[in-house]
Structure 1
Amino acid sequence: MIIDTHAHLDVEDFADDLSNVISRARSAGVGKIFLPAIDLKSVDTVLAVCRQYPDTCYPMIGLQPEEVREDWREVLDAMYEKIKYLLRQKAEGIVKPGENIVAIGEVGLDFYWTREYEKEQLAAFEEAVKWSIETRLPLMIHCRKAQNEMLHIMRPYEKELPGGVFHCFTGNQKEAEAFLRLDRFVLGVGGVSTFKSSHLREDLPVAVPLDRLVLETDSPYMAPVPHRGKRNESAFIVEVMRTLAACYGVDEAEFARRTNENVCRVFGVG
């Protein structure tokens, strides 16, 4: 069994054939798929998919940094109410199928295109960090061109944070080491690792122990070789697993088992 820790299966790209996508994932050996909400509207679409496939899909709820605007506080308050409701249900032992929330995410910082909402992003991310501490849910973190700012926010809370994933890691050895100084965090690696131009196959075994790594697709984006350029889907995570197992010099079954153990440790689901 392989676990896809990050897939946007609720988006329009999968509207016409989601059942087939899920079926192909299961046939490929994917046992669980974690779905991130990125804004208030997607909370409902993510939960709808997870309710439809409760044995496979698990929800995460957060405000993705590229979705942060002037109304970020209002949006966050509404999202947090939903999180608290789901956690109350869980505490009372009446979790409905597909409503077992596993993380705060997708949250983070993204200054790749613009810093127009920099202050809002910083404030929203720090709020997510506080949610994680309060709820004991791990963070699913999006970070692009913002590593220094992100670590500056997280370090004061380092001992209190339950852990999480730095999603879609494509950085170098130095960047990996900086993230992994946060002891309970792991790196999420996907299709980019299979690209001919990627340095991850050389850098990851040097800088990232196998117990600090989880697999993801980020479907429908960044499909791995040999599917590059196509719509990505969870079944393709097998290509990521094979590529990384080879560069770590580990048997594929062992690699899947080890990364699944990491998922279980971080998310409490495995």
Structure 2
Amino acid sequence: MFVDSHCHLDKINPEKAGADLTQIVEMARANKVEHMLCVCVTLEDFPAMQQAVADFNDVSISCGVHPLYVKDSQTPIVELGTKLRQLASANNVVAIGETGLDYFYHPESKALQRENFEQHIEIAKDINKPLIIHTRDAQDDTLSLLKNGHADKSGGVLHCFTESLDMAKKAIDDLDFYISISGIASFRNAEQLRATIKALPLEKLLIETDSPWLAPVPHRGKENQPAYVIDVAKCVADVKGITLEEVAKTTTANYYKLFNNA
């Protein structure tokens, strides 16, 4: 059985997917996906996301503000922490995020992103829920803020990982974080990422779709969905020269160890 450790079920377009949300969840179940974590990107979207998946007992949720949405958030940064703490304290919220830093798309909002990230780290520690981290072109600042904020106390994952092996090792060794692998690993030009996956211990890996984006081979060009996480697992198995069953068993155990409220 598999776990999709990071998806955005509320963002999947039914017309593009050719299925409504109930059918998408059923297709995941049919493909041996036993659990899905639906990840929040803005506090404004959180109530609707929460409601959309409320009837699925095999779907957990997170709460947070993605770094690319901080600049345009309807919640001022001075109020964000209070609102995030209130929403994220709900029993059905198993993680804080996704949060982090993205200097590739929004370098102009670096200071605001860092302030947002620091608040997420502090709240994660206070309410004892792990962090879901988005990081792009911000390796040093991401690791620095996590270390200085003592994020090892909450735990967390660098999701949809595409950064360096050095960063992955530091996140594992210094923070005891997990590294989550998406469909990007199956892309033709992802040789460096596959080399990183091969070098990392399976015991610190998760798998995800990040759906509706980044559909893995052989589904490129389609609306991504949790059912396709098996293809991410197949890629990891091929890269590491191990069985699909071993990837399924270990990454599923890793998920429940990190998100122990799921």
TM-score by length of structure 2 reads 0.92
Match of 2:195 in 1: 202
What's the CA shift for 1:120?
A: 1.1
Shift in alpha-carbon separation, 1:157–1:75, aligned structure 2, 3 A: closer
Matches within 5 A, 1:179-218: 179-199=171-191, 200-206=193-199, 208-218=200-210
Larger RCO (CA within 8 A; separation ≥ 6)? 2
Q: Is the 8 A contact 2:24 2:225 kept in 1?
A: yes
What's the CA shift for 1:12?
A: 5.5
CA distance in structure 1 between the aligned counterparts of 2:93 and 2:122, rounded to whole angstroms: 17
Match of 1:66 in 2: 68
Structure 1 unaligned spans of 5+: 91-99
What's the CA shift for 1:3?
A: 0.5
Structure 2 unaligned spans of 5+: none
- DSSP 3-state at the match of 1:149: helix
Matches within 5 A, 1:57-206: 57-69=59-71, 71-84=76-89, 86=90, 90=91, 100-158=92-150, 161-199=153-191, 200-206=193-199
In terms of mean alpha carbon deviation, does 31-40 or 5-14 score higher? 5-14
What's the CA shift for 1:117?
A: 1.7
What's the CA shift for 1:253?
A: 1.2
Give the 4+ runs in structure 1 shifted more than 6 A: none
Match of 1:41 in 2: 44
* Count of equivalent residues: 255
In terms of mean alpha carbon deviation, does 67-76 or 139-148 score higher? 67-76
Q: Is the 8 A contact 2:96 2:120 kept in 1?
A: yes
For the aligned residue pairs, the C-alpha RMSD in angstroms reads: 1.7
CA distance in structure 1 between the aligned counterparts of 2:138 and 2:86, rounded to whole angstroms: 28
Q: Is the 8 A contact 2:152 2:177 kept in 1?
A: no
Matches within 5 A, 1:225-244: 225-244=217-236
Q: Is the 8 A contact 1:129 1:161 kept in 2?
A: no
Q: Is the 8 A contact 1:263 1:269 kept in 2?
A: no
What's the CA shift for 1:159?
A: 6.8
CA distance in structure 1 between the aligned counterparts of 2:14 and 2:84, rounded to whole angstroms: 24
